[in-house]
Structure 1
């Protein structure tokens, strides 16, 4: 198997699937309002899609190792295509909710197993990091293109063209998996019927590297969750130009498309020299913290937002692919179980961050204390980075714990 072909075809899969996702996400609330009517369906629909796309794969954890990774990933794209493709043909709120959950479930299974696939196929941390970074570029290319294509294809009177195009993107993603990808691999079974076993939870408590990797993932995901919650609210309130608002919110995706390869080359060199992925995650979280500082020090709104976005984009390029690299290297026998742990950690951090950004920020903003929110997030993030990064033993030198000994 060619590593280059594997990376290219898996990137094509991610590009097509995420293009479908980012074509519908900006308009999902608009579509639901026009299709069903009422206000409840928008909040419920968006929440259920986020929840199902985040963690619903964990519900079928015990059955996934019975099937090949490529087979399940292909089937999951069909589920997402069916979920989104059938939405224009019903005006029932209950049916729309079921289709949204089906589409999210397909995406959850697909992208969980894609990370597992890379960990199974690529044996070294540097190689895995290169593949995860290539997938990051593919995802963000789709995130940059999707909203523009959605604007061209969507019509309130007849949304079928948009939704059928979304379904077609998912089917193309499944088709791309037929090339360049090992067909017979199955995920290593988890050590219990649960997505994360008690043995692995004991291992998390016992091994400082694993414990702090989970903690830094939660922390980084919390700050990442501010982009589409508190930051989006801040931009919508304080910046009148729709073009400037769109540029600020779309800048991280465009930065990743053009600059991720350079960041990956630099971080890959550090990994090759023996730098631990956890250390790189701390650097990324510190950059996230710096972007919050910029928002809190009272710079002119557009200038401050632009500098904050630049720092945030750099943090995302460093942090996001390195999370997968770090979890792939954990001393857990089942890569599926390791990435279940990643999925739970990331989803919990991002969900709590989005909740804080949509509630605490608004409350402080209405009290005239918005700057205090940004500085509070920055101070808390920076302090936790310091605590997590200090006095950390070398991996394997002080806690010789494996999953078997923790069991």
Structure 2
């Protein structure tokens, strides 16, 4: 057995619960002391975490430099292009990898993730040279497809490294801090490179960030490391879908993610358009858009400590996803409350900032623990849920909101979103409390076994 094949054999698993294809295989990432000495050059978990953090920092710097102004750029290229353009990007970024799910089984992480960053760099880099029509949509689909590869494989890689929910939550949270350091810089970089309406400097910087992100992977992701085996030719098997429909925790995870991502998409669509209409100061817009990212950098570590403690007491990850979605819905209700734009936007951004540390990383933790046949399937399901919510949210925020706002009924949009989310999410949390009470010792009136 060659060096690469013995390493791949040791790292390959088939089950979301950590079961392996070969019971004699060992996971060199489960415990740093278990790294096999006969495999030279195998990176430690600390090195790989550092490299992935730098990689996510660069990817996110490109993404969050373009997202604060993408709706504005598209609307200037063609009237009514913002909604369809944002929909194409978010749909592709979330579900593009599903089209090649069968091919991704047992594929090498390093070249596949580098291809993803190259596609993102190409799509965004060529966007300012597209005159209109379907060409910008094609470029956004290309960029989104590249981001989809990066997003899926980086999360699967972390899920393969760590086998317990608390450990995954901590590692995903570390990456979220790196992501949001970039997200806090991105809006200011966008304003600096897009001052006079010429988007070419902006997209050159964005493309450069993706190219550097791809190059950074070579320092910590070993070329022989492969993705897990998928048990089905489809992105999600019928078995996994049946489990999701029957299991109350899985159903709650899916629904909370759909609602939460729909509301979160408003930050890059309707909220951006509202800021462009109501705030003439570019620096003020940048500060407001960067605030949630700064909040995650500051709050993610204490939020993770709280969640880890509660998870240790039996609280499932989806509960935190529900709590974050309720925070997002509160922000929507504030925007529709009739307050003047300045205090309404500031308060809504504040609520987003408090809720976000409990959302992004926890969604990944929740899906990593679902009882799917493989983690690749579990994260394919995550991609479907995230994409559906975010793409529809971006479409509504970039098209429907603008129509209502310009007819003087923008507040109706916010109120419907906020109230609808409250009505949908609240029963999920109350249902969890009822199940927990029934499972508590003595709750049913029976004597616990000796």
Q: TM-score range by the shorter chain?
A: 0.7 to 0.9
Pair 1:194-2:234 in alignment: yes
Distance 1:246 1:181, change over 3 A: same
Q: What is the CA distance between 1:296 and its match in structure 2? A: 3.4
Distance 1:370 1:152, change over 3 A: closer
Mean Cα deviation higher: 179-188 or 73-82: 179-188
| Superposition map of 1:6-405 within 5 A | 6-26=48-68, 39=79, 45-85=85-125, 97-153=137-193, 162-362=202-402, 364-365=404-405, 368-391=408-431, 392=435
Q: What is the CA distance between 1:280 and its match in structure 2? A: 1.5
Secondary structure, counterpart of 1:390 in structure 2 = helix
How many angstroms apart in 2 are the aligned matches of 1:262 and 1:55? 32
How many angstroms apart in 1 are the aligned matches of 2:282 and 2:198? 26
1:265-302 residue CA offsets vs partner (Å, 9 max, x unmatched) = 22222223332101212221222222223333334432
How many angstroms apart in 2 are the aligned matches of 1:367 and 1:98? 31
Secondary structure, counterpart of 2:359 in structure 1 = helix
How many angstroms apart in 2 are the aligned matches of 1:139 and 1:116? 17
Distance 1:45 1:109, change over 3 A: same
Do the aligned partners of 2:72 and 2:273 also contact (CA within 8 Å) in 1? Answer: no
* Structure 1 residues not aligned, in runs of 5+: 398-407
Q: What is the CA distance between 1:89 and its match in structure 2? A: 7.1
Distance 1:122 1:181, change over 3 A: farther
How many angstroms apart in 2 are the aligned matches of 1:370 and 1:159? 29
Q: What is the CA distance between 1:29 and its match in structure 2? A: 6.5
Do the aligned partners of 1:31 and 1:156 also contact (CA within 8 Å) in 2? Answer: no
Distance 1:135 1:102, change over 3 A: same
- RMSD of the alignment, in Å? 3.3
Q: What is the CA distance between 1:374 and its match in structure 2? A: 3.0
How many angstroms apart in 1 are the aligned matches of 2:136 and 2:421? 38
Secondary structure, counterpart of 1:193 in structure 2 = coil
How many angstroms apart in 2 are the aligned matches of 1:290 and 1:101? 32
Q: What is the CA distance between 1:135 and its match in structure 2? A: 1.8
Secondary structure, counterpart of 1:177 in structure 2 = helix
Q: What is the CA distance between 1:49 and its match in structure 2? A: 2.8
Secondary structure, counterpart of 1:178 in structure 2 = helix
How many angstroms apart in 2 are the aligned matches of 1:323 and 1:49? 21
Secondary structure, counterpart of 2:371 in structure 1 = coil
Mean Cα deviation higher: 286-295 or 4-13: 286-295
How many angstroms apart in 2 are the aligned matches of 1:376 and 1:33? 25
Do the aligned partners of 2:331 and 2:347 also contact (CA within 8 Å) in 1? Answer: yes
Query: How many residues are paired up?
Result: 395
Do the aligned partners of 2:87 and 2:392 also contact (CA within 8 Å) in 1? Answer: no
